[in-house]
Structure 1
Amino acid sequence: MSLKKASLIIIIILLIDQISKIYIKTNFQLNEDIGVFSWFEIVFVENDGMAWGTKLSDFFTFISDKSAKLILTLFRIVAVTGIAFWLVDVTKKQKSKTLIFAIAIIFAGALGNIIDSVFYGVLFNDSHLQVATFLPEEGGYAGVFHGKVVDMLHFPIWNGTLPEWLPLFGGKYFSFFDPVFNVADIAISTGIGILIVFNKKAFKEFPKTETPLPESHNNPI
């Protein structure tokens, strides 16, 4: 797969991700939800930390939430830059399409969430008890690098009380599954899943073709 095709995949994922986030941000109040099916609903939440809302300050109590957010955003930028170099390298070396595709969608997902973290605090005002405005006159809800990631996809596939006979968790309430995520998260998870499940295919080495010698060398006079 060429870098041009990989770039097209990245652009498509970024467009879907950002369009869905901007729509939710400008049409929903925070925590507002709409049921689509019994097993799927759209819920507007914002995540200013890592996966499932975890923050660096939860682990390092001496770091303020604001500093933790900045560190996380800068780390994401460094990481996505590394992924970009990796993508360019594997396309130049003509590695497997599986590997290039996986890296491309991971990059697209990571970049999609970075856009939220870097710019959304400036581009939108707060969504608490109101629908946010794009480019509000009074300014955004946070500065550059301190935006929150917009999540909206929730799949409450099953919830209920577990059977009593189940060890450790028997009789307890269980929900599968609670996390709310976005298109960028799906891209990242899918890409990582491909690298794990199709590891051998992704990292398969193709035999290098030898450049044939000029005709004069093959048939010496």
Structure 2
Amino acid sequence: MTIRAVVADDQELVRAGFSMILDAQPDIEVVAEAGDGAEAVAAVRAHAPDVLLLDIRMPVMDGIEAARIVCAESPCRVIMLTTFDLDDYVYDALRAGASGFLLKDVRRDDLTHAVRVVAAGESLLAPTVTTKLIADFTSRGAVRPAVPVSERLAVLTARERETLALLARGLSNAEIARSLVVSEHTVKTHVSNVLTKLALRDRIQAVIAAYESGLIVPGDTTP
């Protein structure tokens, strides 16, 4: 199956370079390009791509707002493009529904791998990297519990809540399985249930939800 992609960046050379690399792959087709956030939203509506590569800083409509609209309106997965490793807007992008982010100087192979991973429904960032990223923002006060844990997570079973807490601490499925003394298949089921019940797109959103609900606090590494 061919992965349909849209590339949105206000720098023409960056946009053209990414498109050329992706189009050269036998399983990826760039169906449209966009020079600003509004054009990116229009391109997604017109072409229904699987993946949108979206620059954070763009004219007319920035990448954060574009990601929020795209993620709310469609199943299209969003990869944010940024210049700096811990861009101040990265957290907002993840909250908007993005599945991860890439630096603009990403290597060719890493770019194509990222598109395939996200198109398959996975988060772009490894759990440990995600946790470090979110912890950086929470340590600066960017995240505060929006509602009590008991209210936000009331729909989860006790074991699903345990799974969410371990996931948010950066554990892989295999590590969660060892911690809970269950099979990896069972962990995958718990993770899937957590995402479904909390209406989350992926593991990155689950990590954010764990912090925002107060289930996990910055610096908490209790197993």
**Which fold has the larger relative contact order, with Cα–Cα distance below 8 Å and residues 6 or more apart in sequence?**
1
- TM-score range relative to shorter protein: under 0.3
Greater Rg, structure 1 or structure 2? Answer: 1
